[in-house]
Homo-oligomer: A and B are copies of this chain.
């Protein structure tokens, strides 16, 4: 019997990587990019406590509150509305993984980076993926979607409501009706819209949706809203194969989030504290006020950009209030500008992604960060940096 760790064992320890690092020191940034956005200080404070067990009655009570508040923010009655234990892409993958079976036709509307990601993901789950395309920054019309549904007869249509790479808002009114006509499920990406842009999931007849915590909800990243309605569950329940993703398997997760409280995986407890506080704050403010605030501050930003001689990539009617793509003027090095904003002004804005790399900047005004002072701050800093560059 060993009552101590043997000296022989201890002598084998290799300390090459026993790096002596200083205590954490992180710069304070104003995050006005595509996300993460700054967290509300109350949300950070909520996280600042000891975890409790994921089966503790005090924890399961929080879970119920999170579910209910999420239903309000998304405007859905879906019972299975819950945060996935990862960042937004995990919730995105959860929608695909749970309802797609090998051979299913999945139609994706691609008009930006995240449409391409849906194509990639659906393919990994064995889908027969079809796609329709628009230039980055444009959106699909109902007649275009109808024609595509007629042609492809998919089991699932996936559309990005708020394309984080382009700043365009895809109108979803009427799309759910179309999908029911063609007996197809509708998945909507609301990563950059939840909390900031009007969303009526049930009115729009969206069957599955996903989002993130670190944008319109003013919460750090790591807990990601997911919802599935009755039509989605019906398809899941008829699966011939297990969900090809254990961690995100809703057929098991629903026994943990439901009354059974059957252990599935350990929840990211402190992230649940955070998103619960974040949702509480949105509910306290009210969607009316929050949506209106995002609209007002976005209009202020757009006017200010115009005053700087800059123009937006997306036409006004489809422009997201949460995220604006600004055209990079000729002769300006886009990355040099974002770098100067970060290092000289502690302001993060985003570079263009994919096709729009080097062509646009992305300015986010999301959640608690959507306020006039931030608009003034980014406009002033951007004006200074551009003036310096133009010499």
Instruction: Report which A residues bind B (CB closer than 8 A).
Output: 1-5, 9-10, 12-21, 23-24, 26-29, 31, 33, 35-36, 38-39, 42, 44-54, 56, 58, 62, 65, 68-69, 71-72, 75, 77, 85-90, 93, 117, 120-121, 123-125, 198, 200, 203, 212, 214, 220-222, 242-247, 263-271, 273-274, 276-277, 280, 283-284, 286-288, 291-292, 295-296, 299, 316-317, 342, 348, 353
Contact = CB atoms under 8 A, between A and B. Distances in A.
A288 B90 contact: no
A12 B27 CA distance: 42
Nearest to A242: B124
A32 B299 CA distance: 53
A295 B3 contact: yes
B10 A288 contact: yes
Contact of A271 (B18, B65, B268, B295): B268
A16 to B, nearest CB: 7
A111 B47 CA distance: 36
B268 A93 contact: no
A353 B31 CA distance: 44
Contact of A69 (B5, B17, B56, B121): B17
Please state the number of chain copies in the assembly: 2
A267 B87 contact: yes
A12 B69 CA distance: 17
A291 to B, nearest CB: 5
Contacts of A242: 123-124
A117 B265 CA distance: 11
Contact of A13 (B27, B45, B288): B288
A85 B87 CA distance: 7
16 contacts: A3-B299, A5-B291, A13-B75, A17-B72, A19-B68, A21-B65, A24-B49, A26-B50, A28-B50, A31-B53, A36-B52, A44-B270, A51-B214, A85-B222, A87-B265, A89-B247
Contacts of A56: 27, 29, 342, 348
What 4 A-B pairs are tightest by C-beta distance, nearest first?
Answer: A222-B268, A17-B72, A89-B265, A48-B48
The winner among A15, A317, A353 for most chain B CB atoms within 10 A is A15
A262 to B, nearest CB: 11
A17 B283 CA distance: 9
